[in-house]
Structure 1
Amino acid sequence: MKFSRIAAAVTTAALAPAVLIASPAFADGPGAPDAGHQPATTTPDQSVPDQAEEDRKTILAIIAHPMASEYMKEAGHKAIADGPQAMRKFIEVDQHKIRLDDYRIAISRLTADAGPGLKEGINKLLSGKHDIDMLRHFYEVTQYELRDDDNRVEISRLIGTGGPAVKEAGKKALKGTPADRAQFLKTGRFLAQASDDRVELSRIDESWDGPILSEAIGKLLNGSPTPAELRHFLEVTQYELRDQDNRVAIAKIIDGGGPELVKAGRAALAGTAADRTEFLKTGQHEARAKDQAAKDKAAKDKPTPGKDGQDQGNGSGSGTGSGAAATGNTATTAQGHTGAPLATTGAGDGTTLIAGGAGTALVAGAGLLLAARMRRAGAQR
């Protein structure tokens, strides 16, 4: 009996919860929760909302990444708006496709300021097979290695063509870090070049004779020019001012010059800056030589005054004297006379004077002959 009581008690205790829960009185009794105040759902029922919230946070992190393009951001926001399934698809599929395109575009844009080595690396990567990991490694690592190689080549070129300051700074950068080399090409080279440009401008000022260029150089160096202003002066302005000085010099040279010199000088002034430089270098000397040759020829072809006078004095009625007078040589001196020049009235006056002198001589000769005959007649008587 004692064992039977224990078994019955155990059976009753086991069945009591099931009966109470299934009883309509328990379900609908005064102690039942009202509609809208049911107990919270179990943990398995809460898994979907929790996953959606995690997906939303993941998408927000993805589109906040510096590498996220506008297309990535737009697609992420759309997935969040479309709900849990769209967010899950974006995370598992869409973001990877978009990221692949984003890296391709970003790597392609590197060519804008890339050197030869980097450009070659980009073309080789994009033209071959590649995945997201290869693209990411190239963008984050390889591009900087190739840039540094290109920087080394460029610095070596500058050292070969630059002045003392550029050479010194460039060699120092080659021995430094990639950042040192990038900094040298960004700013250091221009500061070093400015130092060399100042030295070059001083040298030009000492060797140039023109006042316009020299004055401009002095004004520039006494101010506070930037490296860009110094470079522009050397590459552009100095040649404009040189040409102005050359124009002034040519104008002075042809002032009062011979025909050929004036002709060549005017042609140079109407020509290019190179024409003016060439005139000052060689053209003026060639033109002067032509003018001198023409002058020497004219002097050689012109009769000498002494020879003309001798011919006139020896002409005895042959007409040489009258012919010489007709040439206009009005400073001819009569031979055997007082030494005073003849009147400058032309050929007619000179001929009359000569004829009058001849008539006087004939009359005097006839008188002497008559006197001699009379003496001889008296002696015969």
Structure 2
Amino acid sequence: MKLSRIAAAVTTAALAPAVLIASPAFAAGSDAPAAGNQPAPTTPDQAAPDQSVPDQAEEDRKTILAIIAHPMASEYMKEAGRKAIADGPQAMRKFIEVDQHKIRLDDYRVAIVRLTHEAGPSLTEGINDILDRGATLEQLRHFYEVTQHELRDVDNRVEILKLISTGGSSVKEAGQKALKGTPADRVAFLKTGRFLAQASDDRVELSRIDEGWEGPVLSGAISKLLNGSPTPAELRHFLEVTQYELRDQDNRVAIAKIIDGGGPELVKAGRAALAGTAADRAEFLKTGQHEARAKDEAAKDKEKPAPGKDGQDQGDGSGSGGGTSSTGSGSGSGNTAVAAQDGNGAPLATTGAGDNTTFIAGGAGTALVAGAGLLLAARMRRAGANA
């Protein structure tokens, strides 16, 4: 019995290690891999990617699409952005970090240069200054988005002051109101308000012209215009263009009436005016017609007989003849002396002595009186001396 127990114990001790070594493989089943094929453990520097962070290339692509969709993006910016997307992640990253800023700098410069098209003096000076001093991208952006509007308002104020100085009452009132308002008020005045105010002043001016004009063509057109519903542009065009065309039509009619039956010089000057310009016709009516009339009057005076020497017509040298004598008054009006008449209006008979006889007799009498006076004075002086 003792020998059999010892043999069993020895057998159990010999089999125990084999059983213990084989038990894990058995527990894992027949599909468990061999010990040499196990995956390597995950190390801290080989962490699995975080699926919550978007792909960088996709983010860059979206950023570039937003850049080229911006209103300020030029065609060159759009072309460069599309090319970067097509060239891949590295090209997109370079476009975002470097290229877009260089292109944007050029785009702002081009946009600022374009502002000079409608720029006033202040804005033009500001544009030249910002472009000449090598401004940064941020400075260019600030000028385009802020400074240009401030300078435009300065120019708008100057323009409104000019309109006020030359405009009518309505323009002055509306302009003063705009100057006291906001920059937007001033822009609105220059864009539309000035024309509405000008239309009111133009109506007043047309009424004034109608009252002072005598021609039927212009007056009729003014009445028709004001009785309708003209736009501000139509009123302004009538004052600046149409009224002068209609004035000239009235002037043509007036000149034709003036030269009808006029003298040679008047007809000649009138026809020359009709064949000339509108300014020629206006000048004829203002001064030319009067100068031509004066020439015609002077020509008539020259056609009258010239007066003779000593107030008598030049005869045959003997002083005799049957012609009527005339005085040399210089106006060609003839003798103005009137023969004496009796109570019935018939001429009295002449004594043979002309009017000169009366003057001679009067002169002789005066001389006699003067001589007697001198003689009396001499006698009185001698009497005084003897005493």
Deviations 1:49-101 (A, max 9, x none): 71001101111111111111111111111111111111101101110011001
What is the alpha-carbon distance in structure 2 between the residues aligned to residue 200 and residue 109 of structure 1?
39
The residue aligned with 2:35 is 23
The residue aligned with 2:247 is 242
What is the alpha-carbon distance in structure 2 between the residues aligned to residue 42 and residue 71 of structure 1?
42
1:172 to 170, 173, 177: 177
- Amino-acid identity (%): 80
The residue aligned with 1:358 is none
What is the alpha-carbon distance in structure 1 between the residues aligned to residue 170 and residue 281 of structure 2?
34
Could you tell me how far 1:270 is from its partner in structure 2?
1.1
Asked whether 1:284 is paired with 2:268, we answer: no
What is the alpha-carbon distance in structure 1 between the residues aligned to residue 56 and residue 171 of structure 2?
62
The residue aligned with 1:298 is 303
Deviations 1:205-260 (A, max 9, x none): 11011111111111111111111111111111111111111111001100010111
Question: In the TM superposition, what are the counterparts of 1:48-67 in structure 2 within 5 Å?
Answer: 50-67=55-72
Letter in 1 for 2:35: S
Question: In the TM superposition, what are the counterparts of 1:92-107 in structure 2 within 5 Å?
Answer: 92-107=97-112
What is the alpha-carbon distance in structure 2 between the residues aligned to residue 22 and residue 44 of structure 1?
29
1:215 to 220, 224, 228: 220
The residue aligned with 1:118 is 123
Could you tell me how far 1:25 is from its partner in structure 2?
5.5
Deviations 1:329-376 (A, max 9, x none): xxxxxxxxxxxxxxxxxxxxxxxxxxxxxxxxxxxxxxxxxxxxxxxx
Deviations 1:92-125 (A, max 9, x none): 1110011001100000000111111000100111
Could you tell me how far 1:296 is from its partner in structure 2?
2.5
Under a length normalisation based on structure 2, what TM-score does the superposition of the two structures give? 0.68
Question: In the TM superposition, what are the counterparts of 1:84-233 in structure 2 within 5 Å?
Answer: 84-233=89-238
Q: How many residues align?
A: 283
Under a length normalisation based on structure 1, what TM-score does the superposition of the two structures give? 0.69
1:73 to 72, 78, 81: 78
What is the alpha-carbon distance in structure 2 between the residues aligned to residue 146 and residue 22 of structure 1?
84
Specify every segment of 5 or more residues in structure 1 that has no aligned partner in the other structure, as ranges. 1-11, 28-40, 322-381
Deviations 1:144-172 (A, max 9, x none): 00000000000011100100000000000
What is the alpha-carbon distance in structure 2 between the residues aligned to residue 43 and residue 225 of structure 1?
80
Deviations 1:177-224 (A, max 9, x none): 000001100000010001101110110011011111111111111111
The residue aligned with 1:370 is none
2:273 to 268, 271, 276: 268
The residue aligned with 1:372 is none
Query: Secondary structure of the residue that 1:94 maps to in structure 2?
Result: helix
Mark the CA change 1:22 to 1:109 in structure 2 (over 3 Å): closer, same or farther.
farther
Query: Secondary structure of the residue that 1:249 maps to in structure 2?
Result: helix
Could you tell me how far 1:24 is from its partner in structure 2?
4.9
Letter in 2 for 1:207: G
